[in-house]
Structure formats: C-alpha cells, structure tokens
Amino acid sequence: MNTGWSDEALVAKARAGSDAAFMRLVQRHEAALRGFLRRSLGGSAAEAEDVAQEVFLAAWSRLGDLKDAGRVRAWLCGMGWRKAQDRMRTRRRDVARDGAWLEIAEATPGLSAEDRLAVAQAMGELSEVQRACITLCLVEGWSHGEASQALDLPLGTVKSYVERGRARLLAALGGSHDA
C-alpha cells in the first residue's frame, strides 16, 4: 500500500470499506493518541492503550461523522478526551503523583530528583482538563483554538488553563508562581 497517501485519501478509502486504509490511519496516529491519553489520564500506558483501542473502534464505526478529513488527529484526540473523561469519572483519582509525568521527568536531562518529584506532584494536583490542555498546547504544539475544538472547551478557558498550568510547573521547578 502506498504510505504517502494523505489522511484525506485514506479516510475516503476507509469510508468506501477499505480496512487497509483504516489501519494505515491507525498506524499513523496511534502513537500520538496514546501519548496524549497517557499524559492526560496521568496513569499507566496500559490504561491509555485501552482507551485508544476504544477510540479507534468508535472511529471505525463513525468515520462518516468526520467533517474535515484533514483533521483526523484532532478528531481522534477529541474522542479520546471524551472517553478519558468517562474513564476518570469511574475511577477514584487518589494518586498524589502523576505517573506518566514522573516518567517524563525522569527522562529529562538536567532535572534533579527533587525537580522530578515536584513536577509529578504538580501535574498530579492539576485537574484532568488542565493536563489535557497542557499536553495539547505545550507538548504537542497545538494552537489554543485547535485544543478548544478538540476538547470542546471555550477558547478563553483553554488559554487560562495553559497559562496557569505553565505557571504551576514553573513554580514546581523553582520559578515564580505569578500567573
């Protein structure tokens, strides 16, 4: 199969019934989706993988609902976020530290052990939606508008969450906490 096809072309083929085209879309976006879910859920890789499986199964069934075939990743992340919210509602979040961010901090050169724990603690104290905003805007580099659409939140709310989250992380790393 031609791997150079655009998302639009693959979506068109998948809508026509091609499983191969759909699986190509999966291979293209699954790592990003799992990463987003893992950082948003703050849990294990296995949990993010479970949710990602549900997202792709739903996407396979509802491919006809996708309005802009060029924005598959945003569509998948939006669905992932809604499923992640369902998942978070059903489990009691009593972890004081965010496991996913602790791993990220451990893989970051230049951070002391105290910094790593402080980052994980700070992320653990943020709300799920704040973590999702930080993941999309600060890590993945999405615009506030794109994150607002994917997460179904007002633009101002996304901007505020990102700024406050950034300030919280900076404070955890020894910076000022004035946002």
12 forms part of the interface with other proteins (CB under 8 A): no
Residues 44 to 73: which contact other proteins by CB under 8 A?
A: 45, 49, 52-53, 56-57, 60-61, 63
Residues 85 to 104: which contact other proteins by CB under 8 A?
A: 101, 104
Q: Which listed residue (9, 115, 117, 164) binds other proteins by CB under 8 A?
A: 115
User: Per this entry, what is the length of the chain?
Assistant: 179
The SS3 call for residue 142 is: coil
169 forms part of the interface with other proteins (CB under 8 A): yes
Nearer to other proteins, 84 or 105 (CB): 105
Q: What are the distances in angstroms from CA 95 to CA 6, 8, 161?
A: 41, 41, 21
Closest CA to 50 of 83, 93, 76, 98: 83
The SS3 call for residue 152 is: coil
Rounded-to-integer distance, Cα 49 and Cα 178, Å: 36
Strands (E), 19-173: none
Q: Computed from CA positions of residues 92, 95, 97, 99, in that sequence, does the dihedral angle turn out positive or negative?
A: negative
Closest distance of CB 111 from other proteins, Å: 6
Site residues (CB under 8 A) for other proteins?
A: 16-17, 19, 22-23, 26-27, 30-32, 34-35, 38-39, 45, 49, 52-53, 56-57, 60-61, 63, 101, 104-105, 107-111, 115, 119, 135, 138-141, 166, 169-170, 173-175
